[in-house]
Amino acid sequence: MASPFLFYSEMVVEEKGKNIKLVLEYDGNAYHGWQRQKGEISIQGILEDKIGVITGKRAKLIASGRTDSGVHALHQVCNFLTKTNIDPGSLKKGLNALTPPDILIKEAKYVPLSFHARYSAKSKTYEYRILNRREPNVFLRHYTWHVPQKLHMAKMRECLSALQGRHDFSSFRSTGSGISNPVRTMILAECHLSRNGIIRIVFEADGFLRHMVRNIVGTIVQVGSGKIEVEKFLEILQARDRQKAGPKAPAQGLFLSMVRY
Amino acid sequence: MASPFLFYSEMVVEEKGKNIKLVLEYDGNAYHGWQRQKGEISIQGILEDKIGVITGKRAKLIASGRTDSGVHALHQVCNFLTKTNIDPGSLKKGLNALTPPDILIKEAKYVPLSFHARYSAKSKTYEYRILNRREPNVFLRHYTWHVPQKLHMAKMRECLSALQGRHDFSSFRSTGSGISNPVRTMILAECHLSRNGIIRIVFEADGFLRHMVRNIVGTIVQVGSGKIEVEKFLEILQARDRQKAGPKAPAQGLFLSMVRY
């Protein structure tokens, strides 16, 4: 992984090559998540291989963060160091010709060597989509969580505003995510009811713990459907204990929608 | 196929059983169209088999019309005669549990024996969706035709209004559709530009010839992109000659959206 502390100078360019940033959109349905894994089809794996086909050397991609199996991206950012002379515009065209139609390279450009898709990120935004009506919809089956019980928007909004600010989010972190600091700053957490009964829950934070959005959404839906009270939700947040929270919402409703630098 | 001229009477009910109407939504992407065909996966085939599992006898489904391979339905109607005593509500539940998630039974109810999904239809409505912007969208790849050149809406509207009324649509009929009367009444033909650059072209008619909507859309897109003039389009309609029209638009943008009785 490249150090985030490199300075952009001619000398470094000669040694390290160039730094190229990609902005991606992908449908996560067919993939075992972002991260390259042996024997699994991943978005990172496909992109690194196809960049290798174009540049002659397999890339090592750094993403703003991993997305799990079945999770989508409207705007994922990654970068890689390369010595190729192929300009970013041609690289974008070539990659879009070589990658499957469920992965789209929206942008490719040179960035300073100091740019690191993960460490340079100021905030990330996730959007979770719920289809909240009795009937399911075949066209949304891979892109929403179908919740047939009517959800109480005002109660869910109360929970979401309580999440804003700096908190220890341990109650909403899945195990297996190491021992890193569980404190994050939630810049924005709100929900919108669109036409056709689609509820969009939007979260912007300086970082997210493992499965944090899906664990929060699973618990908020319990509030919305009347299974637990708003007060209980606030207790869960304060408890810093994963055992207290509701079940994890399914992957297919989750979209990484923005990364700010 | 049931005669459309049966009368609903106790005697007939005893003999013929009951007539059940289904309203369906399906994602056509994985199917070889509506019609049952040997060695191909079809929507009709799956439904007839699953009705058989529930009632003990494979159904013979009559649809409002066939949809081609890759074409979707927001509202398809079919019916079948059955002697089962299972009520339509339970049948709907059972079918939704047995069919794959890309087929949804939205409604099931008893109708008079005289009801025939095809012959009783007063009009059908198709909607064609075009993604008209430079960038494609991975989530719409199975549900729109991506046309990157900016389309001229006013010119396309001129063509569409010329289609309204009673016309011989031979110029827009694909071969292999038999020698039936090519005259149809187009009740409505209009287009709307939605947010995100999606153009919806809506057609309501008393009937459609083979590939008629896709052939019309393919030709109208030639007008919209400036390849041919509106006058040329009107000549094509009057020529009653398939050789004159533009190429057929791809299947994945087409939705059967309503059937009126």
Closest alpha carbon within chain A to B139: A27
Closest alpha carbon within chain A to B138: A102
Q: What is each CA distance from A56 to A2, A38, A83, A109, A215, in whole angstroms? A: 20, 22, 10, 19, 41
Q: Are residues A221 and A94 in the same domain?
A: no
CB atoms within 10 A of CB B154: 8
Residues in B 1-40 with any Cβ partner in A closer than 8 A: 25-27
Flag if A27 and B72 touch (Cβ within 8 Å).
no
At which of A87, A111, A135 does a domain end? A111
Instruction: Please tell me the distance in Å from B25's CA to the nearest CA on chain A.
Output: 7
Instruction: Please tell me the distance in Å from B65's CA to the nearest CA on chain A.
Output: 20
Domain count, chain A: 2
Q: Are residues A145 and A84 in the same domain?
A: no
Flag if B138 and A26 touch (Cβ within 8 Å).
yes
Contacts of B26 in chain A (CB under 8 A): 138
Q: What is the CB-side half-sphere exposure of residue B186 using CA atoms within 13 A?
A: 22
Q: Are residues A43 and A163 in the same domain?
A: no
Amino acid at A147: V
**Could you say which of A26, A101, A138 has the minimum Cβ distance to residue B103?**
A138
With 60 as the cut, is the pLDDT of residue B6 above it? no
**Could you say which of A104, A137, A141 has the minimum Cβ distance to residue B136?**
A104
Residue A1 pLDDT class (50, 70, 90 cuts): very low
Contacts of B102 in chain A (CB under 8 A): 138, 141
**pTM for this entry:** 0.89
Q: Name the token pair of A8.
A: 């952009």
H or E segment to which residue A189 belongs? strand A183-193
Q: Are residues A77 and A25 in the same domain?
A: yes
User: Is A212 part of a structural domain of the chain?
Assistant: yes
Residues in A 96-115 with any Cβ partner in B closer than 8 A: 101-104, 106
Distance CA A141, CA A81 (A): 38
Closest alpha carbon within chain A to B104: A138
Distance CA A46, CA A52 (A): 10
Structural domain containing residue A29: 10-111
Distance CA B121, CA B30 (A): 27
Q: How many CB pairs under 8 A join A and B?
A: 40
Closest alpha carbon within chain B to A135: B106
Query: Which of A75, A95, A139, A141 best tests the B interface by mutation, with the highest count of B CBs <10 A?
Result: A139
With 60 as the cut, is the pLDDT of residue A216 above it? yes
Distance CA A200, CA A45 (A): 30
8 A C-beta contact, residue B100 and residue B46 = yes
8 A C-beta contact, residue A156 and residue A223 = yes
pLDDT value of residue B244: 85
Q: Are residues B100 and B215 in the same domain?
A: no
pLDDT value of residue B178: 66
Q: What is the DSSP string of B196-229?
A: GGEEEEEEEES---TTHHHHHHHHHHHHHTTSS-
Q: Which distant-in-sequence residues (6+ apart) come within 8 Å of A31 by Cβ? A: A41, A42, A43, A69, A70, A102
Closest alpha carbon within chain B to A96: B136
Flag if A104 and B143 touch (Cβ within 8 Å).
no
Nearest to B103 by CA among B177, B167, B176, B24: B24
Closest alpha carbon within chain A to B143: A139
Q: Does B138 touch chain A (CB under 8 A)?
A: yes
Q: Which distant-in-sequence residues (6+ apart) come within 8 Å of B106 by Cβ? A: A135, B23, B24, B25, B75
User: Is A150 part of a structural domain of the chain?
Assistant: yes
pLDDT tens for B206-217 read: 999 999 999 999
Residue B249 pLDDT class (50, 70, 90 cuts): very high
Task: Give catalytic residue positions of B.
Answer: 68
In chain B, % of residues over pLDDT 90: 85
**Could you say which of B27, B104, B138 has the minimum Cβ distance to residue A27?**
B138
Q: Are residues A136 and A218 in the same domain?
A: yes
B241: left (phi over 0), alpha (psi -120 to 50) or beta: beta
User: Is B218 part of a structural domain of the chain?
Assistant: yes
Instruction: Please tell me the distance in Å from A105's CA to the nearest CA on chain B.
Output: 10
Contacts of B135 in chain A (CB under 8 A): 104, 106
Q: What is each CA distance from B134 to A102, B146, B147, B197, in whole angstroms? A: 17, 8, 8, 10
In chain A, % of residues over pLDDT 70: 93
Distance CA B27, CA B102 (A): 5
User: Is B58 part of a structural domain of the chain?
Assistant: yes
User: Is A2 part of a structural domain of the chain?
Assistant: no
At which of B111, B146, B165 does a domain end? B111
Nearest to B213 by CA among B67, B36, B46, B100: B67
Q: Name the token pair of B117.
A: 């999904």
Provide the mean pLDDT of chain A.
93
With 80 as the cut, is the pLDDT of residue A10 above it? no
Residue A260 pLDDT class (50, 70, 90 cuts): very high
Q: Are residues A227 and A107 in the same domain?
A: no
Mean pLDDT of A87-104: 97
pLDDT tens for B50-89 read: 999 999 998 999 999 999 999 999 999 999 999 999 999 9
Query: Which of B138, B194, B256 best tests the A interface by mutation, with the highest count of A CBs <10 A?
Result: B138
Contacts of A141 in chain B (CB under 8 A): 27, 101-102
Distance CA A238, CA A247 (A): 17
Distance CA A189, CA A169 (A): 14
Mean pLDDT of A235-258: 94
Q: Does B80 touch chain A (CB under 8 A)?
A: no
With 70 as the cut, is the pLDDT of residue A218 above it? yes
Residue A9 pLDDT class (50, 70, 90 cuts): very low
pLDDT value of residue A158: 97
Q: Are residues B51 and B130 in the same domain?
A: no
- Burial pattern A172-185, b for ≥16 Cβ within 10 A else e, equals bbeeeeeeeebebe
User: Is A99 part of a structural domain of the chain?
Assistant: yes
Q: Are residues A107 and A153 in the same domain?
A: no
Q: Are residues B166 and B240 in the same domain?
A: yes
Q: Are residues B100 and B144 in the same domain?
A: no
Nearest to B70 by CA among B212, B244, B249: B249
At which of B79, B111, B143 does a domain end? B111
pLDDT tens for B187-227 read: 999 999 988 899 999 999 999 999 999 999 999 999 999 99
Q: Are residues B103 and B137 in the same domain?
A: no
With 60 as the cut, is the pLDDT of residue A106 above it? yes
**Could you say which of B103, B135, B138 has the minimum Cβ distance to residue A102?**
B138
User: Is B2 part of a structural domain of the chain?
Assistant: no
User: Is B213 part of a structural domain of the chain?
Assistant: yes
Residue A180 pLDDT class (50, 70, 90 cuts): confident
Q: Which distant-in-sequence residues (6+ apart) come within 8 Å of B50 by Cβ? A: B95, B98, B99
CB atoms within 10 A of CB A229: 12
Give the CATH number of the domain where residue A211 resides: 3.30.70.660
Flag if B138 and A106 touch (Cβ within 8 Å).
no
Provide the mean pLDDT of chain B.
93
Give the CATH number of the domain where residue A96 resides: 3.30.70.580
Mean pLDDT of A23-37: 96
